[in-house]
A and B are shown apart, each in its own frame.
Chain A
Amino acid sequence: MIADQSLDQNEKSLKEMLFHSSDFKSSDFVAGHRHFRLFYFDTMIEFAVVQDHIIRPLLRNADISVRDAVTILEYSETDLLSVASQALVEGQTVVQIEGEPKLYLLGTQLNKERAVNIPVNERVLRGSNQALIENLDTNLNLMRKQISTADLVVKFYQLGRRSNTKVAVLYLRSLANENVLKEFDRRIDSIDIDYVEGTGFIQEMIEDKKFSMFPKMLITERPDRVKSYLLDGKIAILTDGSPNCLIVPVSFWAFFQTPDDYQIGWLFGSAFRFLRIICFIFAMSLPGTYVALVTFDPRIVPFPIALTLQSSMQYIALPPVLEALTMLLILEILREATIRLPSSIANTIGVVGGIVIGTVVVESNLISNMMVIVVALTGIASFIIPSYEMSTTARYLSYPFILMASIFGLFGLELSFLMVVTHLARLNTMGIPYFYSGISGDTIQDTWFRGPIRSLKKRPKESLAKDEMRISARRGGTE
Chain B
Amino acid sequence: MIHLEKISINQLICLVILTQIGVSVLTLPYAQIRNSGNDSWLSILIGGVLAQAVILIIYQLGKRYSDRSLPQYITAIVGKPLGSVVNFVFAAYFMENIFMVTITYSDIINRWVLFETPWFVIIGVSFTIAAYIASSTLRSMATITQMIMLMFLICFVIVLVSGMGKGDFRHLLPIGTHGIGPLLKGAVPSFWLYSGYELLLYAFPFVRSRKKKDIVMAVSAANGFTTFFYMLITVIVTYNFSESQLKSIPEPMVFILRKFRWPVVQSLDILFMTIWLSVVAVTVYVYLFMSARYLAFIGSKEIRNHPFLVWIIVVVCFGFGLGASDRQWQSRFSDYHNIVTAIMIAIVPTILLLISLARGKAAGG
Contacts and interface: CB of A to CB of B under 8 A. Distances in A.
Contact of A411 (B132, B133, B277): B277
Contact of A297 (B137, B140, B144, B270): B270
Chain A contact residues, majority secondary structure: helix
A434 to B, nearest CB: 10
B147 A421 contact: yes
Nearest to A297: B270
A410 B274 contact: yes
Contacts of A440: 8, 10
B264 A415 contact: no
Nearest to A421: B147
A300 B147 contact: no
B162 interface: no
A46 B38 CA distance: 95
A475 B306 CA distance: 51
Given A297-B270, A418-B129, A419-B129, A302 B143 contact: no
Interface string A403-432: 000001111011101110110011000000
B305 interface: no
B266 A439 contact: no
A61 B141 CA distance: 77
Interface in A411-464: 411, 413-415, 417-419, 421-422, 425-426, 433, 435-436, 439-441
A300 B265 contact: yes
Contacts of B148: 421
A413 B274 CA distance: 9
A299 B143 CA distance: 33
A418 B278 contact: yes
B136 A425 contact: yes
Contacts of A436: 139, 143
A302 B261 CA distance: 9
A408 B117 contact: yes
A418 B125 CA distance: 12
Contacts of A435: 143
Contacts of B129: 415, 418-419
B139 A299 contact: no
Interface in B240-291: 261, 263-267, 270-271, 274-275, 277-278, 281
A441 B140 CA distance: 16
A19 interface: no
B8 A422 contact: no
Nearest to B8: A440
Best-buried of B117, B143, B281 by chain A (most CB within 10 Å): B143
B343 interface: no
B140 A425 contact: yes
A418 B266 CA distance: 25
A288 to B, nearest CB: 13
Nearest to B144: A425
B277 A439 contact: no
Contacts of B147: 421, 425, 439
B270 A300 contact: yes
Interface in A171-212: none
A408 B140 CA distance: 26
B136 A422 contact: yes
Contact of B263 (A302, A413, A417, A425): A302
Given A302-B264, A415-B129, A418-B278, A408 B144 contact: no
B20 to A, nearest CB: 19
B338 interface: no
Interface string A223-246: 000000000000000000000000
B146 interface: yes
A410 B140 contact: no
A441 B263 contact: no
A414 B113 CA distance: 14
B184 interface: no
Contacts of A433: 139-140, 143
A301 interface: yes
Given A410-B274, A422-B144, A300 B139 contact: no
Contacts of B146: 439
B348 interface: no
A127 to B, nearest CB: 32
B133 A418 contact: yes
Contacts of B139: 433, 436
A460 to B, nearest CB: 16
Contact of B266 (A303, A417, A425): A303
Contacts of B117: 408
A422 B128 CA distance: 13
A202 B236 CA distance: 59
Contacts of A414: 274-275, 277-278
Nearest to B277: A414
Nearest to B275: A414
B109 interface: yes
Interface in A130-144: none
A440 to B, nearest CB: 7
A422 B140 contact: yes
B358 interface: no
B267 A297 contact: yes
Contacts of A441: 10
B316 interface: no
A211 B175 CA distance: 60
Contacts of A297: 113, 267, 270
Interface in B289-340: none
A277 to B, nearest CB: 12
Interface string B38-79: 000000000000000000000000000000000000000000
Contact of B265 (A302, A409, A417): A302
B151 to A, nearest CB: 9
Best-buried of A302, A435, A436, A439 by chain B (most CB within 10 Å): A439
A435 to B, nearest CB: 6
Contacts of A299: 266-267, 270
Contacts of B180: none
B31 to A, nearest CB: 26
Contacts of A300: 265-267, 270-271
Given A300-B271, A302-B264, A411-B277, A422 B114 contact: no
11 contacts: A302-B261, A302-B264, A302-B266, A303-B266, A410-B113, A410-B270, A415-B129, A418-B129, A421-B144, A433-B140, A441-B10
Given A408-B114, A415-B277, A418-B133, 7 more contacts: A299-B270, A302-B264, A410-B113, A411-B274, A418-B278, A422-B132, A425-B136
Q: Which 6 A-B pairs have the closest CB atoms?
A: A425-B143, A425-B140, A410-B274, A299-B267, A439-B146, A426-B136
